[in-house]
Structure 1
Amino acid sequence: MAEAIEKIVKMQGVHKRYKDQTVVEDFHLTAEAGRIIALCGGNGAGKSTILRMLAGIIQPTRGEIAVCGIRLRDDRAAYARQIGYMPDDYRFSGGLTALETLGFWAKLKGLDLQAARAALAEAGLEDTGKKPVSSFSKGMRQRLMFAQAMLAHPPLVILDEPTNGLDPHWLERFVDLVRDAAGRGQTVLLSTHQLSIAETVADEIYFLQNGVVKMSGTPAEIRKQLGTSGLGEAYAQMFS
């Protein structure tokens, strides 16, 4: 049992097909506590589909997925408790404030309003007052969704394109917050088009194309294997 728990994420032979289209094929990933893993690739590479399957939003056509040794089909509620999920887009309720919005999610997770206030402060949104979330900028909405994913410090945090719309200051802050989460023993899986962020924060990177892993490894391993000085150059070489 201890060995199973040590592996926070186990995805084995995961395949997703919609009618006649295969969007993810034979995907394998394991991640231990405190690891940061980035999925990179162009539009349609399969990144969001992988994260949505891991979050339990959609089911794989075949393959096995477990989080903290729990499979979704065995215990959906226990599986969900292991995960904080930030989608790539979210439509917020009309007139709710940031605190009201996060307070609702906190209550669902069995947390009090103080936990919501702490998460808002971490995301730099503690002074938004009565301003409705519907009036927030893209970056502010991203930060609110990030705060929601971090509520209760779950073992696994899944972030789908979390840096879209963030200004330079919050890009740096995002890197710090993700590293802090990993330092607490949380595992973070994120997708991003921003290779500089992946190179800065990730312990391991998966490059995907049409649902297939083209290459994976640490940033240093990928640079060495392709003889490049950075991931941007590596990406251009792989997908040219």
Structure 2
Amino acid sequence: MTFIKVDSVSKKFGKKMALSSTSFQLQKGECVVLCGGNGAGKSTLLHILAAISKPTTGTVWLNNVHLQKNRQEYVSQIGYMPDDFFAQQMMTVQEFLSFYAAHRQVAEKQIDEILQRIGLLEKKRELVKNLSKGMRQRLVFGQALLGSPLLLLLDEPTNGLDPFWVNEFVAILQEVKKSGTTIVFSTHMMDVAAEVGDTILFMKEGKIVKTIRNELDKEKTTIELLHLHRSV
């Protein structure tokens, strides 16, 4: 059964068409990666899926819930990691996650579990302002994981991560996929896209110009994506 259905979704800002009529369907537990250059429409699409931005046209269903008609029920099923980091700088790491845990009615004990998985357990009492860029990325990623959402939306989640944590990020996403969570994320890292994605949507000027079903040969997929990037 289709878990997510995006039907003829577009987004216009003034006279600029940021996302043209876009349609695709995802199954439960599938990972879809959005690739393409800057201005391709990746973040715009993620903002619509995260119910941050209203589509100009088209509709989105998640688990048979209509985004525009049942927004509250829709957003209760998602976890979202934005591209830009926004947080009260004088909060501690634990306070930051506790805020979101309370909002989502998540037990406090899950906070330590998340902190352990993202390597920030020893930083739980550290102020957010003192964290490195990579640590902040991991913290916002941890926030998105709270409550085991049915749909995980991640906008450029590997930005600022060192090679060790890129590998850990891939491992975490593989675990999340196995649990049945559906994932949509954008990245400029072609090897990460090939490693995790079941389907890769390559975007250009607000349109999906190529859909790649990622089969067994990850290296071949990586090379194909590199060629596509160089051609845009």
Partner of 2:89: 94
Q: Is 1:154 aligned with 2:149?
A: yes
Contact 2:79 2:151 in 1 (8 A): yes
2:224 to 231, 234, 237: 231
1:202 to 197, 200, 216: 197
Partner Cα distance (1:46, 1:204) in 2: 17
How far apart are residue 75 of structure 1 and its match?
1.7
- Using a 3 Å threshold, how does the CA distance of structure 1 residues 54 and 139 change in structure 2: closer, same or farther? same
2:108 to 106, 110, 113: 113
Aligned length: 232
Q: Give the fraction of aligned pairs with identical amino acids, expressed as a percent.
A: 35
Partner Cα distance (1:127, 1:161) in 2: 25
Q: Is 1:82 aligned with 2:77?
A: yes
Partner of 2:208: 213
With structure 1 as the length reference, what TM-score do the two structures score? 0.91
How far apart are residue 113 of structure 1 and its match?
1.4
Partner Cα distance (1:134, 1:116) in 2: 19
Q: Specify the SS of the correspondent of 2:59.
A: strand
The letter of the residue matching 1:234 is H
- Using a 3 Å threshold, how does the CA distance of structure 1 residues 46 and 108 change in structure 2: closer, same or farther? same
The letter of the residue matching 2:176 is A
How far apart are residue 99 of structure 1 and its match?
0.8
Partner of 1:3: none
Partner Cα distance (1:237, 1:88) in 2: 23
- Using a 3 Å threshold, how does the CA distance of structure 1 residues 132 and 231 change in structure 2: closer, same or farther? farther
1:103 to 98, 117, 124: 98
- Using a 3 Å threshold, how does the CA distance of structure 1 residues 191 and 141 change in structure 2: closer, same or farther? same
Partner of 2:23: 28
Partner Cα distance (1:186, 1:109) in 2: 17
Moved more, 71-80 or 97-106: 71-80
How far apart are residue 231 of structure 1 and its match?
3.2
2:126 to 131, 136, 143: 131
How far apart are residue 234 of structure 1 and its match?
2.8
- Using a 3 Å threshold, how does the CA distance of structure 1 residues 135 and 231 change in structure 2: closer, same or farther? farther
Partner Cα distance (2:226, 2:112) in 1: 41
How far apart are residue 32 of structure 1 and its match?
0.6
How far apart are residue 228 of structure 1 and its match?
7.8
Contact 1:8 1:155 in 2 (8 A): no
Moved more, 154-163 or 64-73: 64-73
> Superposition RMSD on alpha carbons, in Å?
2.0
* Within-5 A mapping of 1:5-16: 6-16=1-11
Unmatched 5+ stretches in structure 2 = none
Partner of 1:44: 39
Which of structure 1's runs of 4+ aligned residues deviate more than 6 A? none
* Within-5 A mapping of 1:139-150: 139-150=134-145
Contact 1:216 1:222 in 2 (8 A): no
Contact 2:115 2:124 in 1 (8 A): no
With structure 2 as the length reference, what TM-score do the two structures score? 0.94
Contact 2:40 2:206 in 1 (8 A): yes
